């Protein structure tokens, strides 16, 4: 199984476990409340959205990764197209972080 498939499956699993929040405004809110452990941003997010989430994650010390496009993220979570997903659980965040770092190195 490829790293992309593993990341997609883990995002789906985290969503079914109700450990994800999706949608730009809701993700920003969770970052502010310090509940978000990791944020996944779609590669085709608008510049404005990317900057806003980059800045928020940097100021609140939340790990941010870019992965797939909005349709990939939506498909992974079983919803419509999604630009941003926040992972709310330490375990899922740690595993996803490892996979995303490996994916970005490759």
Per-residue pLDDT reduced to its tens digit, 49-67: 999 999 999 999 999 999 9
pLDDT of residue 20: 96
Phi, psi of 80 (to 5 degrees): -65, 180
Strands across the sheet containing 38-41: 20-22, 84-87, 38-41, 63-66
Across-strand partners of 39? 64, 86
Per-residue pLDDT of 32-54, as tens digits, reads 999 999 999 999 999 999 999 99
- Six-digit token pair at 3? 């790293």
**Best CA proximity match to 39, nearest among 106, 100, 80, 105:** 100
Mean pLDDT value of segment 69-83: 94
Which residue ranges form the domains of the chain, and what is each CATH number?
Answer: 3-104 (3.30.1330.30)
């Amino acid at each position: 199984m490829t790293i992309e498939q593993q990341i997609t499956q883990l995002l789906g699993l985290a969503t079914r476990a109700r450990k994800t929040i999706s949608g730009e405004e809701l993700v920003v809110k969770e970052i502010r409340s310090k509940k978000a452990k990791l944020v996944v941003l779609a590669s085709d997010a608008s510049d404005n959205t990317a900057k806003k989430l980059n800045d928020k994650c940097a100021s609140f010390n939340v790990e941010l990764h870019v992965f797939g496009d909005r349709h990939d993220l939506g498909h992974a979570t079983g919803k419509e197209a999604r630009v941003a997903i926040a992972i709310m659980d330490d375990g899922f965040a740690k595993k996803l972080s490892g996979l995303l770092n490996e994916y970005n190195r490759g």
